[in-house]
Amino acid sequence: MTLPFEFAPLSTGLPWIGGDLQTLRNWLTRAEASVADWSGEAWQLTLADGDRLSGTLYERARTAARPLVVIVHGLTGSETGINSRSTARAMLAAGYPVLTLNMRGAGSTAPWCRSIYHAGRSEDLAEALSAIAAAGLAPRGTFWVGYSLGANILLNMMGDLGDDSRVIGAVSVSAPIDMLATSKTFLKRRNRIYHNWLLAEMKRGVRILAEPVPEALLSDVRTTVDYDEKVVAPIGGYRGAEDYYRRTSALGRLNAIRRPTLLIHAQDDPWIPAAPYLAYDWKSAPALAALLPCSGGHVGFHDRGRRKAGGAPWHDRAAIAFLGFLGY
C-alpha cells in the first residue's frame, strides 16, 4: 500500500542522534506519560487454558462513536510502561477510547499465570478480540498498536484473522519480524549492556509467576538464546530456539494480512535488523504500508516536532494519521 496520507519524515535533533540515544532517551530522561486526566476501569480476561490477561479500559463512553484502540506492550513490559502510556495518552487526547493490555505473565497478571507470553501467543490476542467484541466494547471496531515483540505477535494475529471486520487496522512499531536474525543481532558485543539488562528482566518475570520457573534452570541460562531454548521452547511446544524463531517470525505471514496495517521500523534500530524490512516486496501486499526512517532506534522516534504535538513521539502521530485515513 502506498501511504495515502502525507506525513512529515522523522527529523531527529540534538542530543538524540543515532540509534542508541534514540533507544535510551526515555530511560535517560525518566520520561513519563500520565493518563490521569481520563477515566479508566479494570479489564480482565481468563484465557482458555486458565491464565489471564488484564488491562485498563479508558473512556468507555466513547466506544459507541469511535474505534477502540488496543495497545500491546513489548517483552518484559506492561501496560504501565512508557510506550503503552505514551500511545494511550496520544490516542485519548485525539478522542479515541483505549484498552492497554497486560499480556500473560506481565503486570498484574503474573500471580495468576502459570505460563508466559512469547512470540507465538497470537491466539491470546485473538481471544482478547473475541472477548472485546462479545462484551460490546468496540461497536465501531478495534484498532491495534503493538510494540517490539508485542508487535510481532500482533502481526501474526493479523495474518491469522484475514479480512476480519472486527479489526479496522493496526500499527506495528519496531517488530522483530525475523526472529532468528534478531536473536543474532542482539548477541553482538555492541549490545552486551542491552542484552544483560533484558535477560535479567526476563528471568525476573518468570520468578514471580504462579508456578515459577525453577531457579536451577534459570542459573544455567546465560544468554537470551539460552532462555528461548530452555524456557520458552518447552513452554510453547517448540523443538528448540531455532524452531521457535522460525515458526513465530511475522515475516512469513505478512502476505496473509488483509486489514490495513502500518509497519514502522528504524533502520538504525540497534536491537532489530532492518534488512528484512528493506528486502520485503511491499508492493506484493496491498494491505500493508511501511515507514522506515533512517533513524529512530528501538521504539524511539524522538523528533523535533514532539513539543508542538503535546509530547507525542513521531510513531504515535503516524498511528493517529493512519487512523484518520481509515475514516476515524
Which residue, among 52, 59, 149, has the nearest Cα to 97 in the 3D structure? 59
Catalytic residue among 124, 178, 269, 303: 269
Those residues with Cβ within 8 angstroms of residue 107's Cβ, 6 or more apart along the chain or in another chain: 54, 78, 79, 80
Catalytic residue among 298, 302, 303, 315: 298
* DSSP H or E run through 320: helix 314-325
Those residues with Cβ within 8 angstroms of residue 144's Cβ, 6 or more apart along the chain or in another chain: 69, 70, 71, 72, 125, 154, 157, 158, 167, 169, 170, 171
Catalytic residue among 122, 148, 174, 183: 148
Which residue, among 133, 128, 136, has the nearest Cα to 100 in the 3D structure? 128
Those residues with Cβ within 8 angstroms of residue 65's Cβ, 6 or more apart along the chain or in another chain: 140
CA distance between the termini of the chain: 19
- Annotation says 298 is catalytic: yes
- Annotation says 51 is catalytic: no
- Annotation says 228 is catalytic: no
DSSP helix/strand/coil, 133? helix
3-state secondary structure string, 45-105? EECCCCCEEEEEEECHHHHHCCCEEEEECCCCCCCCCHHHHHHHHHHHHCCCCEEEEECCC
Cell numbers placing 236: 510453547
Give residue for cell 515459577: 212
Q: d(Cα 31, Cα 177) in Å, to the nearest integer?
A: 27
Which residue, among 80, 90, 89, has the nearest Cα to 54 in the 3D structure? 80
Active site residues: 148, 269, 298
